[in-house]
Amino acid sequence: MTQAVFTFLDELGTVKKPLIVGFPDTGLAGAIAVSYLVEQLKPDEKGYIDSREMPPIVPVRRGTPKELMRIYEAGSFVTVVSEVPIPPPLIREFSDSFIDWALQKKVSWVGCFSGVAEPRRLEIDVPKVFMLSSEPKKTEELSKKLNIEVFTEGFVTGVHAEILRLGMRRGIEVNLFLAQSHLNYPDPGAAARLLSLLPNLVHQQIDIKPLLESEESIRIQLRDLMRRTSETMVQKSREMELPPVYR
């Protein structure tokens, strides 16, 4: 396979703001959260991420063709929206390029919104959110500030896990937020729970009621993305094997 090259093309200068991301994985929780965030706040589109390994797909939004991975800047944070999952063979290279870019832009910290598979999700009205940080002191600080639990034992996998690993190695704060999610179909409820953290993370209020009211239509719209994500993120199913005490 031809070696992938990820290129970050943007109009951003030094931002010194948090960077919030949610690449497609378990339940599309993070992907739905950041997409809804952009839809509601309408931040400035500042660039995109490209690679010759990206699939030949052009998303169209309100009659306008878009890039598959787009970079946005709001008043208090920067975010990246991805319309496709990162294939496992490319995760390490993508994550390395991503951290290079974050360091270049001098972002204050990286926040990864994701999901953790919960077999009993249908029985849960309000999903729990767990967190983990590349900096142990931040794990304790943020868990208390946000009133969420620390992910104490088990495994995290995929692109967010690799970004977390590189944060530890390269001295950039990476905070991972995991909402209890369905494994095999889109979970707007888990996405809404992640978005409820925003006021205490980036001082940004967002109305999540429309997201919760349109859960079924969102699931239908995102069936194909969920299928592609499930095919490329099989390793995430290992999280279902964690003992219940860690959920």
Q: Which two tokens stand for residue 72?
A: 């946005």
CATH number at residue 187: 3.40.50.10900
pLDDT in tens, 167-203: 999 999 999 999 999 888 889 999 999 999 999 999 9
Q: Assess if residue 242 is contained within a domain.
A: no
Under the banding of pLDDT at 50, 70 and 90, the label for residue 243 is very low
Instruction: Please give the mean pLDDT across all residues of the chain.
Output: 88
Q: Assess if residue 195 is contained within a domain.
A: yes
40 contacts 47 by C-beta, under 8 angstroms: no
pLDDT for residue 2 is more than 70? no
Cα separation of 74 and 225, whole Å? Answer: 26
Per-range mean pLDDT, top range of 27-31, 227-231, 238-242: 27-31
Q: Assess if residue 148 is contained within a domain.
A: yes
pLDDT in tens, 140-169: 999 999 999 999 998 899 999 999 999 999
User: How high is the pLDDT of residue 241?
Assistant: 43
CA proximity to 226, closest of 28, 9, 53: 28
Bridge partners (DSSP) of residue 114 are 178
Cα separation of 92 and 29, whole Å? Answer: 21
User: How high is the pLDDT of residue 33?
Assistant: 96
Q: Assess if residue 160 is contained within a domain.
A: yes
Tally of CA atoms within 13 A in the half-sphere of 45 that contains its CB: 13
- What angle (nearest 5°) sits at the alpha carbon of residue 44, between those of residues 43 and 49? 110
Q: Assess if residue 88 is contained within a domain.
A: yes
Q: Assess if residue 59 is contained within a domain.
A: yes
Does 214 or 48 have the greater pLDDT score?
48
Does 212 or 221 have the greater pLDDT score?
212
User: How high is the pLDDT of residue 225?
Assistant: 65
Range of the domain at 67: 9-237
Tally of CA atoms within 13 A in the half-sphere of 56 that contains its CB: 0
Q: Assess if residue 244 is contained within a domain.
A: no
Cα separation of 247 and 240, whole Å? Answer: 10
pLDDT in tens, 19-55: 999 999 998 999 999 999 999 999 999 999 999 988 8
Q: Assess if residue 116 is contained within a domain.
A: yes
pLDDT for residue 61 is more than 90? no
How many separate domains does the chain show? 1
